[in-house]
Amino acid sequence: MRGSGWRQLTGWGGVEGQYLRRRHFTPAVLEQIAERIAACETTHLGELMLAIEAVSPTHEPDTHARALEVFGKLRVWDTPSNTGVLLYLALDRHSIEVIADRGVAAPPEAWQRVCIRLRENLRRGSYVEGVLIAVDDIEAICAKYCPPIEGTENVNELSDRPVLL
């Protein structure tokens, strides 16, 4: 076997993804991202979860379908106001997906802009800054489309800590 088929079967295709995750998403960086998410979520009802996958599973070759699967497995949908948002990075596939629950009625173009901007930063090697900017962009969208409800407490329903898959 040659080419990408061999890489998928042997797992060697994920070497780059593992390298990128170890190099750019250290415990200190993950904590920095978690702090940014926690600080931003106080201004709206949105709940952001970041999932970083170094090596995508072979059972799901479509990145969007995989992001939907992760959205479900991480229970991002399980918020009282249906305002969960998943930012999914598939490092080995160089893919980015944003999945938003039905309580965040932002237009698809808003999420596409987040992905485009993050992709540009990642291409330049600005992993940490790019992810932090993406968090800020998503939080601005959430502030616009799911603002806090007066008289209710803004409870943090999902973990702010990025999930490494």
Residue 22 is predicted with a pLDDT of 67
Residue 3 is predicted with a pLDDT of 39
Cα separation, 71 vs 121, in Å, equals 24
Print pLDDT tens along the chain (165 aa): 333 443 444 344 566 666 666 667 889 999 999 999 999 888 888 999 999 998 888 899 999 999 999 999 999 998 888 999 999 999 888 899 999 999 999 999 999 999 999 999 999 989 999 999 999 999 999 999 988 777 666 778 888 999 999
Beta-strand runs (E) in 38-109: 47-53, 84-90, 95-100
Return all residues near 77 (Cβ < 8 A) that are at least 6 apart. 71, 84, 101
Which two three-digit tokens encode residue 98?
């944003």
Domains of the chain: 3-164 (3.10.310.50)
Are 130 and 27 in contact by the 8 Å Cβ rule? The answer is no
Compute, in degrees rounded to 10, the torsion defined by CA atoms 80, 81, 85, 86: 20
